[in-house]
Amino acid sequence: MKRILTVLALLLPAFAADIGNQQIDSIYPALEKLYVSLHQHPELGFQENETSVKLSEQLRLLGYEVTTGVGRTGVVAILRNGSGRTIMLRADMDALPIEEKTGLPFASKVIVKSSAGQSVPVMHACGHDIHMTALMGTARIMAQTKQQWHGTLMLVAQPAEEILGGAAAMLRDGLFHTISKAGICSCHTC
């Protein structure tokens, strides 16, 4: 996970040179706890209610402007820090209807009703739990290092990536109008 956070920091060159392993190490315990929680409590597409609450609460505590319910269960978080570039990062939130057989002490034992009404086991088999954790690590570092960068950071937690409906739902719900309200859309139709 530390490598993923480092790679994300490198994607944001305005401050990447000032981000060190010590800073990443300082947030690692909280991120590991988040990762384990996300892994143990996966949710299917458009059912990411608890995941959405968990992410949005943490983002608000970090000082982000948070909009929830975008695309039903999606989250959009914006951190403004003066003039400058706008960077958008996205992570997917949903899990798959697969039984976890990893033997991990924090393995998912979740069974839910699918959209078809069938009871199905659920697990994060494609890494969406680590995607969300890396997004939150980036959110923390960006909030902690505001003196080292300027611009706007937009974080998107997308629902229902696995069933291919989440991005379209977010667009239908006005994702770019949310951006417009944040003052960072230039599409001239918002």
Q: Which residues are catalytic?
A: 94, 161
Burial of 71 (0-12, 13-18, 19+ CB in 10 A): buried
**Continuous H helices in the chain:** 2-10, 13-16, 21-40, 49-61, 128-144, 166-172, 175-181
Distances (CA, A) of 54 to 57, 70, 99, 133: 5, 15, 23, 11
Backbone angles phi, psi at 157, to 5 degrees: -105, 105
Which residue is listed with tokens 């979740």? 110
1: buried, middle or exposed (CB in 10 Å: 19+, 13-18, 0-12)? Answer: middle
d(CA 150, CA 10): 16
Our measurement of the distance from residue 36's CA atom to the centroid of its chain's CA atoms, rounded to an integer in Å, reads 15
